[in-house]
Every structure is written in C-alpha cells, then in structure tokens.
Amino acid sequence: MDTHAAAMDAAIDAAVAARRLRAFKRWMRAHGVVCSDALRLDASESGGFHVRAFAPLREGDLVATIPRRACLTPRTTAAAAAIEAAELGGFLALTVAVMYERARGKESPWYAYLRMLPDCESVPLVWPADEAERLLAGTELDKIVKQDRELLCEDWKECIEPLLSSGELDVDPDDFSLEKYFSAKTLVSSRSFQIDNYHGYGMVPLADLFNHKTGGEHVHFTSVSDTSDSDVEEEEDDDESDGSTDDQSTVENNTNSPPEVSINDEDLEMIVVRDANEGDEVYNTYGTMGNAALLHRYGFTELDNQYDIVNIDLALVTKWCKSMFSSRHARARASLWRNLGYTGCTSQEAEYFEISYDGEPQLELLILLYIATLKADAYDKLICVADDLIVNEEHDSIGSVVRLVKATNSNPNFELDGLDKMPDVMKLLHNKNTSSALLSLADMRESLYDSNTLEDDEEKLKNCNFSKERKMYHSLVLRVSEKRILNRLRKYASSCSKAKKRKHL
C-alpha cells in the first residue's frame, strides 16, 4: 500500500473511532456511567482508545463510577436464562453473553459500547496458525496457543453447539460460529473484570478503556464492599457511525431467576492510586504478569518487564541428564529428588522450573541438578539418610537445603549453622557441576527457538514498526526478553564458579 493510501486509511479509522466515542459518551450519560472531567477519552490513530489526564490527578481521587447494571454480564444479558440453564460458568458464560448481545446489533442495550470494541483482540489465539507457529517457536507461548485452540474447539462443540441446537437463544447460527466464538473469547480475555459473586465476570464499559502499565498504574478498579475486588482483564474494537440506540434508558436486567447470592448494588469505581500530570496517559494495571502472559491474554508485551520468566521443562533436564550419564542414572537421581518431597511447577501436561527475570533458577531445579551430579559415594550417603530429609509440610526450604548439603559433604566438620537467607543457602548448591549443568540447560532451552541469535532478534526489533507489524513486534519482544533471561542464567551459573575460584585463591 502506498503512503498516501495508508495515511487516508488511518484518517478514516481515526474519524470512525472518534464518532463511536461520541456515541459512547452519550450512552454513558444515559446509563449512569460517570467519568470525571479530569479524564479525557481519546481515539487513537489505530482506531483504539486510551485515557488521558485533562487536569492533574491526585491519589485518592474518584475518577469514574459505573453502575453494575450497566455492565454486560451473564446476569444482565437478555440471554441470562439460557446461559443459566446451560450451566455455563466464568469466561464461557460471558463469552456467550457477548456473542449474543453483538448478534442483537442495534437492539442490544450495549450497542454503543460494543461498537467501541474491535472485532477481536490480536492475541496469538487468532493469529493465522502458520504465522503463530513461526513467530512463537520456542517461546513460552509455543505450545500453549496450540493447546488453547484445541480446548476452545472442544468447548465450542460441547457447549455452544448444544446451546444453539436447543433453540433457547433464537439466534442466527452464523453469529455463534467457531470464528465468532474465538473473536468474542479474545475480547473477554483482554477486557473483562471480575465484578462480584453474583455477576461473575463482566464487561465494564469505561473501565476497560484504560491501557496497562506494569508497576506504573495510576488507577485501580474496585468493586466496592465486595470481597473480590479485582484488577482487570480486558479487550477492544471498532466500526461504524452513530447508531440509533445510543440515548436510551437504563440497561435492562434480564435475569429472570432469583439470585443465589445477595446482590450488591453499589457502583464500581476507578480510584487514583498514583498522581498523574495533565496530559499524561492514565494507566490501569491488569495484574503483575510477564510478557508471555501479557501477549497470551492481551496481545501486547513490554520491554524490560520485571515479571518475565523463562521455564525449563523437567523433560529437558532429564534429556540433559541422560546425555551426561545414563538413563538409569537419570531415573534414579530424579526419583530420589522426588522422594525427598521436591517437585517442579506443573501445568496441564508438563512439569517445569522457572528462571526469574534476574536469571535465578527455581530452588527445586538447583536441588535436582545437585543430586543428579553428586558423586556415587555422596549419593549413597544421601540414600541412607533420605528418610530423615524428606521435606515436611511446612516446607522449611532453607533447613532442607542445609540438611541435604550437610548429608552429602565429605568433610565431617562442615559447619553450616546460622544460614538464614535463601540466596546464601542457594549458593550451597552451587558447584562446578551444577554451574555447568545450568549452562548446558540454557543452551538447550535456547536451541528451541529458530536459528536467530539474540543479537539478530534485537536488530530486527529495532527495525520493526510497533503499530504496523504488531504480531512481529510483540513476538520479537517476547523472544528477546526470554533470551536475555537465559543470558542472565548463564551469568548466574558462571558467577558461582567464579566466586568459588576467588575463595580458593
């Protein structure tokens, strides 16, 4: 596309977004949604929206109130009875509510709100499968996105198809196609909030216009007097001009059945938790998440996100151990580690270990490597005392590492009392062998990506256009962040052997 045509398209997108925003503001007034004069809602060139401070904001200021009845939830949609009868819970119930209200078009009480949302949020779930596979190869999202697709197809077959066949919803099946289900799911994952026990998850107009900034948010979302105050989840849209149903009366509450839990009527609120100056973008927080989680759920990433992690699968550790020793050795050492009460983190099908943003490996991984690389005599000693070393339920991590190291040390006068800080205790597990194992694991983990080096990816990222090549940009940030963590893991591994060498000088 030539530059002129691209500029024209951007201008049209911005004009459409601005028109929708005006309609939405009228909708807010009609539905009792109050937005402080100190906030300015802006349409961006890309057709999305963000919030800016029109005047200085001070901690404690109340900047928005949203009546619960104005939220689109499984309880407030006209499909409430069908959703309840189908016993759909959580995100699935809300996804059906969103599809249903979208299908109603101008008949929907949320029409002006729904027109502000994009068709779908650009999360990897809806990227073309081959592109997702290429861009995410080796990253923390590689397998997850494939699993998501399979699980959602199952959900659609098991829950949505029967709901359609039951005739309870009286909708055009095209509005509930698998494709529409995926799209609605991306909106729910990227912009829904947990409201309260009665409404469950819901779309909260206005609250979902705030973008996210890790550790730098200005506002918090609160469900007043509710035990489940929540931070966000969310999503967005686009399309079309002012509609006829903008200025209507209050959103109906279509729930026919009696509530199972008491209904809290108090408005939802957005409160300032950090000062903002006039002109600043006003951010919310969607929670403390690494880039894989942000990209997975919201379709964006942040450079230098302190909550980033890389995982190393137990399967990779086993592969390394077998390559260094034998299958028998690998099995025996892993089983002793397990018998002592240790495990990795677990997800659907895998057991894995986290490497933190600083490159520090999870304690359980270090212990496994320590046991895997013990000399035969130390290993035999450990077997003899294993029953006394089983990690107890209170999980005295520090004590258990100290006892493990004492039991395997050849020096009978080895003194370890007084150690009470985890980083110091972890150093006990550092030796030439565990360091070299960590270095090998970093290489093996990195080999899962394509052949590009970190430097290649960094160079590509520099030349990548953030707004025009979104998928490429965010997948590069994810890869670069993960590879940088693996480099820090290498530093961590090497620093232990260096420290030991200095001690010996």
In whole angstroms, what is the distance from residue 110 CA to residue 76 CA?
11
Among 94, 483, 99, 479, which residue's Cα sits nearest to residue 295? 479
Residues 201-230 that bind ligand SAM (CB under 6 A): 208-209, 211-213
Q: Which residues pair with 211 in a beta bridge?
A: 283
Q: Are 441 and 448 in contact (CB under 8 A)?
A: no
Stretch that binds ligand SAM, among 42-50, 397-405, 408-416, 485-493 (CB under 6 A): 42-50
482 is an interface residue for ligand SAM by CB under 6 A: no
For CA atoms 291, 294, 296, 298, the dihedral sign is negative
Smallest gap from residue 222 Cβ to ligand SAM (A): 16
Q: Nearest-CB residue to ligand SAM?
A: 234
CB of 354 to ligand SAM, least distance (A): 24
Least distance in Å: CB of 214 to ligand SAM?
8
Looking at the Cβ atoms of 298 and 352, the one nearer to ligand SAM is 298
Pick the piece of the chain touching ligand SAM (CB under 6 A) from 48-56, 139-147, 346-354, 438-446. Answer: 48-56
**Residue-wise burial string across 28-65, b where 16 or more C-beta atoms lie within 10 A, e elsewhere:** bebbebebbebbebebeebbbbebebeeebeeebebbb
Q: Give the integer Cα–Cα distance in Å for 345 and 310.
A: 12
Contacts with ligand SAM by CB under 6 A: the residue count is 17
Single out the residue of 23, 48, 359, 428 in contact with ligand SAM (rule: CB under 6 A): 48
Kindly indicate which of the ranges 21-29, 47-55, 76-84, 418-426 contains the residues binding ligand SAM, using the contact rule CB under 6 A: 47-55
Segment (H or E) for 178? helix 178-191
Q: Are 268 and 31 in contact (CB under 8 A)?
A: no
Least CB distance to ligand SAM at residue 48 (A): 3
Per-position x/- string for 274-313, each x denoting binding to ligand SAM as judged by CB under 6 A, each - no binding: ------------------------xxx-------------
End-to-end CA distance of the chain: 65
Question: Of the candidates 190, 362, 408, 481, which one interacts with ligand SAM according to CB under 6 A?
Answer: 190
Place of tokens 């959900």: 155
Tell me the C-alpha distance between 355 and 290, whole Å: 12
Name the residue among 158, 159, 156, 168 with its Cα closest to residue 80. Answer: 168
* Site map 84..123 versus ligand SAM, x via CB under 6 A: -------------------------------------x--
- Smallest separation, CB 328 to ligand SAM (Å): 49
Between 50 and 134, whose beta carbon lies closer to ligand SAM?
A: 50
**What percent of the chain is helix, strand and coil (3-state, nearest 5)?**
50, 10, 40
Q: Considering only residues 140, 148, 234, 364, which one is a binding residue for ligand SAM as defined by CB under 6 A?
A: 234
Whole-angstrom Cα distance, residue 402 to residue 391? 12
Contact between 290 and 308 (Cβ < 8 Å): yes
CA dist 127 and 35 (Å) reads 34
Region of 233-241, 323-331, 379-387, 394-402 interacting with ligand SAM (CB under 6 A): 233-241
- x/- mask, ligand SAM, residues 50-69, rule CB under 6 A, reads x-------------------
By DSSP bridging, strand 310-313 and strand 283-284 are unpaired
Is 260 exposed, middle or buried, given 0-12, 13-18 or 19+ CB atoms closer than 10 A?
exposed
Nearer to ligand SAM, 208 or 226 (CB): 208
Binding map of ligand SAM across residues 316-345, x = CB under 6 A, - = no contact: ------------------------------
Cα(193)–Cα(204) distance, integer angstroms: 7
Query: What is the contact surface with ligand SAM in residues (CB under 6 A)?
Result: 48-50, 121, 190-191, 208-209, 211-213, 234-236, 298-300
